[in-house]
Amino acid sequence: MERSGAHIVWEALKQEGVQVVFGLPGGAIMHTYHPRSDYGIRHVLVRHEQGAAHAADGYARASGRVGVALVTSGPGATNLVTGIATAMMDSVPIVCITGQVATSVLGTDAFQEIDITGITLPITKHNYLVTDVDDLADTIHEGFQIARSPRPGPVLIDLPSDVQRATTQLQPAADRSLRPPYTFASAATRHVPPEAAERIDRAQRPLILAGHGILMAGAEEVLRAFSERTGIPVATTLLGKGAIDAAFPLSVGLMGMHGEAATNHAVQEADLLIAIGMRFSDRVTGTLCTYAPEAYKIHIDVDASELNKVIGVDVPIQGDAKDILAELLASVSPNAHPEWLDRIAQWKRQSHARDIVSRPVNGSLPPPHVVHAICEATQGEAIVVTDVGQNQMWAAQYFHPRGPYPFITPGGLGTMGFGLPAAIGAQIAQPEKEVWAIVGDGGFQMTVQELATVVQERLPLRIALINNGYLGMVRQWQEWFFDKRYEATRLVNPDFVRLAEAYGIRGWKAHTRDESGEAIAAARAHPGPALIEFITAQTGDEANVYPMVPPGAALHEMIRRSEHRSGAQR
C-alpha cells in the first residue's frame, strides 16, 4: 500500500486505538492535518498548544489510554514544553507529534525551526526526529509502546514536512518487528522476600502509603483486599487520591505538607510503612532526618531508580504494584490493630475541632466550604480536576472521591493553568460522568482561552472558580514567612461570570454559603457548560490552607488553625 507520511500518521494512530487528538494546526504540520477526516479520529481544536498537552494529559488520566497532542513546529512545539514536563513528573502517558521544517533545511535556522528533541530530551521518556518516511510507522508504534509501558510517561515525535509528504509502501502491522518494551534495570528484588510478610504480621502500628502507582497499575481492588486482610490503614499521596474509596473504614486520608494532621501524626509514629507507587517527594516527607523515625520501611515501585533515592528503606521491591500486592496478600496473615486505629481516630477528633467546615460562618465564604459543598452535592461521585495552589489543596482536603472517580491534579511540576484544559480532556474521556474543574483566579487566567474549546466541543463541564483576589498560596507564604509583604500577588480580576457569558457559558456568582449551594445545584441542573465564581475571603485565617508543614520542619510540626480562631499556632 503506497501511503504518504501524513496518511501513515493517522493509520498508525488508528491502529493504536486513538479516538481523540488535541491540537492546533500550522504550516509545518498542515500536510498531516489534511487527511485526518478520512480516518474518523476526533480532533479537538485548542486555543493554545499548552492546552493541547494538558488536555491530552487529563484525557490519559481519566481514561487510562494514551493521550495525543498534535501541533506545528517552532512556537507550536515549544508551547508544549510545560505540559510535557507536567506529564513526565506525574508519569502520564502522552504522545506529542510536532511538525518540523524540511530535512533539507534542518540546522539553518529556517522559519519556525527549533530543536524540539533537544529541548525536550530531559522531560520525555523518549523522543524522535523522523528523517525517513520508511521509519515513520514503526516510530509511532514504538513511541506508544514506550509511553504506556512501566513507568508511563511522555514521548515526542518530531516530523519534518518533507517526510509528511513523502510516500512509501506501508508494511502490514503483523510484519513489523518492534524493539522490546522499555524496562527498568533493577538492583532490587522483583519478588516479596519472606522478611516483608513477617514484618507486616508483627507490626503494631503499620501504615500503607498509597501513591499514583496504585492507580496506574489498576491495583485499587487488591489494595483494598490487602488492607482488609491485614487491618492496616491506608494514607494517600496527593496523586494517590482515589486509590482507596474515601468511605473505606481504613482510609485515613491525605499525607504531606497540607495533608491531614492525623495522617501526618500516623506516619511519624508508625512502626512499619509500606510505600506503594510513590516517590517520597519533599512535599510528603518534611525534613528527611526526622521522617518516620521508628518505621521499618518497605518500598514497592515499578521504577528501580526511585528505590532508596530519597529515603533509605529496609526492603526495596521493584515491580508492578498490582502484582506485588497480590503476592503479599497471599503471604500475610489476617490481622487487626484496634489500639492503633483508636489512636488515629483520636487525632482525627482533635482535628475536627479546628476544621473550619465544622464551624458556623458569619457572612463570609471560606473556600473549604465551596469544595465541601461540591463534594456533598455530588456525593463524591464526580471527576475533579484541579489547578495548582490553595484551590488544589482545598480540593484535596475536602473532596473525597467515591469509587472509580479519578482526582486529577498536577503534582510534581505544580503547573498553574493545568486545571481547565485538563478538565476538557477528562470530560472528553468520560462524557457520561460529571466533571468539575476546581481552579483559582490566578491559574485560571493562564489558560482561560480554553473556554472557547469547551463551547466548541459542547462539553457539560462545571467550573468552580475560587476568587480570593490573590495568587493565594504565594500570599499565604508571604503572610507567614515574609513579614506580610504582599509583593506582586494582588490580582485585579475581570468579572468572571460576564467573561464566561461572553464565551457562551452560563455563569453564577456566590458570596455566601447559601448562595454557593444554590449556584452548585443550578450549575448541575444546567445541561451545558457552567461556571460559578465564588467570592471568598481574601486574607486572614479563613483565607489560608491548614494544616501546613513549614519549610525545614518535621512532618508532625504543622502550623494548625487555632481552635478558637485566635491565629495560627504550632
Same domain membership, residue 393 and residue 370: yes
Same domain membership, residue 88 and residue 207: no
The answer to whether residue 310 scores a pLDDT higher than 50 is yes
- Using CA atoms, how far apart are residues 393 and 390, in angstroms rounded to an integer? 5
Same domain membership, residue 142 and residue 23: yes
Query: What are the φ/ψ torsions at residue 530 (nearest 5 degrees)?
Result: -145, 145
Which of 373, 386, 543, 538 has its CA nearest to residue 465?
386
Range of the domain at 81: 2-175
Same domain membership, residue 361 and residue 339: no
Decide which of 327, 348, 369 is a domain's last residue. Answer: 348
Residue 521 lies in a domain: yes
Q: What is the pLDDT of residue 175?
A: 59
Residue 569 lies in a domain: no
Decide which of 175, 204, 226 is a domain's last residue. Answer: 175
Residue 565 lies in a domain: no
pTM: 0.96
Q: What is the pLDDT of residue 359?
A: 74
HSE-up of residue 153 (Cα within 13 Å, Cβ side) = 19
Same domain membership, residue 343 and residue 456: no
Confidence class of residue 566 from pLDDT cuts 50, 70 and 90? very low
Per-residue pLDDT averaged across 370-392, rounded? 97
Contact 559, 550 (CB under 8 A): yes
Same domain membership, residue 500 and residue 459: yes
3-state secondary structure of 442: helix
Which of 104, 121, 32, 106 has its CA nearest to residue 74?
106
**Total of domains in the chain:** 3
Torsion of CA 362, 364, 365, 367, to 10 degrees: -100
Q: Buried b vs exposed e over 102-113: b needs ≥16 C-beta within 10 Å?
A: ebeeeeeebebb
Taking CA 81 as the corner, what is the angle to CA 75 and CA 87, rounded to the nearest 5 degrees?
150
Q: What is the DSSP track for 375-436?
A: HHHHTT-SEEEE-SSHHHHHHHHH----SS--EE---SS--TT-HHHHHHHHHHHSTTS-EE
Per-residue pLDDT averaged across 357-385, rounded? 90
The C-alpha cell at 503 is: 464565551
The answer to whether residue 174 scores a pLDDT higher than 70 is no
74-100 residue pLDDT tens: 999 999 999 999 999 999 999 999 999
Q: What is the pLDDT of residue 565?
A: 40
Residue 183 lies in a domain: no
C-alpha 103: how far from chain center: 36
Contact 254, 238 (CB under 8 A): yes
Residue 187 lies in a domain: no
Residue 324 lies in a domain: yes
432-466 residue pLDDT tens: 999 999 999 999 999 999 999 999 999 999 999 99
Same domain membership, residue 280 and residue 171: no
Which residues 6+ apart lie within 8 Å of 557 measured at CB? 286, 549, 550, 570
- Using CA atoms, how far apart are residues 337 and 140, in angstroms rounded to an integer? 51
Same domain membership, residue 378 and residue 231: no
Say if residue 366 is preceded by a cis peptide, omega within 30 of 0.
no
Q: What is the pLDDT of residue 367?
A: 95
482-530 residue pLDDT tens: 999 999 999 999 999 999 999 999 999 999 999 999 999 999 999 999 9
CATH of the domain at 211: 3.40.50.1220
Same domain membership, residue 539 and residue 442: yes
* Cα separations in angstroms, 514 against 122, 342, 529: 49, 36, 22
Residue 416 lies in a domain: yes
Residue 560 lies in a domain: no
Torsion of CA 415, 417, 420, 421, to 10 degrees: -80
E strand segments, 73-119: 94-100
CATH of the domain at 145: 3.40.50.970
The C-alpha cell at 295 is: 518505621
Q: In the chain, what's the furthest Cα-to-Cα distance? A: 76
Which of 509, 526, 382 has its CA nearest to residue 441?
509
Same domain membership, residue 164 and residue 284: no
Which of 81, 79, 91, 90 has its CA nearest to residue 49?
79
Same domain membership, residue 236 and residue 161: no
Same domain membership, residue 322 and residue 250: yes
